[in-house]
Amino acid sequence: MVGLVDGNNFFVSCERVVNPALNGCAVAVLSNNDGCCVSRSNEFKALKIPMGTPRFKLRRQEQRGEVTLLSSNFELYGDLSNRVMATLRELAVQVEQYSIDEAFIYPPTTARANLEEYGRIVRATVLRQVGIPCGVGFAPTKTLAKIANHIAKKRPSGVYVLPANTSELFSALPVDEVWGIGRQLAARLRANRIFTIASLCATPADALRRIGGINLLRTVRELLGEPSLTESDYEAHPDSITYSRSFGEHTRDLEALWESVASFASRASEKLRRHALVAEGCSVFAQYGPTLERTFLSRTVVFPVPTDATNSIVAVLRPAVEALYSPDLTYCKSGIMFFGLSPRCGLQQVSLFDEFTERKAIRERQKATSRLFSAVDALNARFGRDTVSIASVGLGTHKTWRVKSDKLSKRATTRWDELITVK
């Protein structure tokens, strides 16, 4: 049996950990640039305000004190997520993190006789040690565990073990409740008169392959209790890595545009190192113009050798940014996309036509740089993002591009200067 642990209204729950006064209040966390609601408390949901509602539509309710709106505090959420995962590793034989607030767990042998009780222990321990309420669902496969978790969150105990006989349950659940079946695939299934999970499981394999290919077949096998997914199926290495943001304020300043690209390149190179990948090159892009008529500009840069080093990457990007820039344009967004990704296997191969001494020098520089940025990543992970950064990123002189966060809460778990004071 496999369990799925999922934090309830995770971003809001994190905010309540550092500010208990929010308990019982209608709270929502906003997307980047304080745009729209991306996480809602149960009290907020009770007001029938849907997910994705823009902030400007809630201005009157906010002014009257009926709702509390907060900026996304990803530093806080990431730290508390790490604490949840560390707690789960103390309780389970194996933990496979799926997202910032979800993880599959494998119970110890001694707990399998009473999974309901084990789930309550897991839930209580995470709540006590981290402060995050969660739902825990158990089933024979990961796809079924997702369904069990969905049901668990509606139960007072917050725990649910999927029964052996699922015929009645599957007859009542629509196909779009299944993990891996998105909007388009669900529409194709309904067009073929497949409306419930029960009818999906009863569909012949040939028809399933025709409608959704091999992935749909694997999903159905999972629904029938046959494990068909591995961790690599949802943690595969990406073909590219992109990092981009809309600016908090539009800008005509070259240095502001440059600082934003350098910052995003730093973030993206961290992702490269996290996945143990190197990139052959990148595309730098920017957008300008009004919302409905934005124009997209881009330039491509090929690195001298495949790399994951922030300093090497940023060093070759300045000409690309200058090529994108015009003092007559007002920029609203920028970003970077790495391409040509491959595993970092210690030393990167350079051209056979290079001189031996040059190849050796490149290898030595790569080894030293790899050690340097491994240390930088460790420091930033421990003490907070941008604790250590290259000068192009860290000076922060031109702040107009930075994401708007007017309602940012304290990063009380990662910043010494934002520790909570108890009077």
State the residue for tokens 């980047």.
Answer: 32
- Class of the CATH domain delimited by 8-76: alpha beta
Does the structure show a pLDDT above 80 at 11?
A: yes
Rounded-to-integer distance, Cα 167 and Cα 151, Å: 15
Identity (one letter) of the amino acid at 205? Answer: A
What's the fold here for domain 241-394?
Dna Ligase; domain 1 (3.30.1490)
**Is the pLDDT higher at 413 or at 91?**
91
Instruction: Find the mean pLDDT for residues 410-417.
Output: 80
Tens-place pLDDT, residues 385-402: 555 556 556 555 556 666
Look at the pTM and tell me if it is higher than 0.85: no
- 3-class state of residue 94 by DSSP: strand
Closest by CA to 235, choosing from 36, 67, 99, 60, is 99
Tens-place pLDDT, residues 272-316: 888 888 888 898 999 888 765 678 888 888 888 888 888 888 889
What's the pLDDT at 369? 64
- 3-class state of residue 345 by DSSP: coil
Which residues, in sequence order, are CB contacts of 63 under 8 Å at separation 6+?
A: none
Where in the chain are the domains? 8-76, 81-232, 241-394
Instruction: Find the mean pLDDT for residues 95-102.
Output: 90
- Please tell me the number of Cα atoms within 13 Å of 319 on its side-chain side: 6
Confirm if 120 and 152 have CB atoms less than 8 A apart: no
| Residue 60 CA, distance from chain mean position | 31
Which residues, in sequence order, are CB contacts of 296 under 8 Å at separation 6+?
A: 285, 286, 287
Instruction: Find the mean pLDDT for residues 312-322.
Output: 90
Does the structure show a pLDDT above 70 at 222?
A: yes
Rounded-to-integer distance, Cα 386 and Cα 200, Å: 48
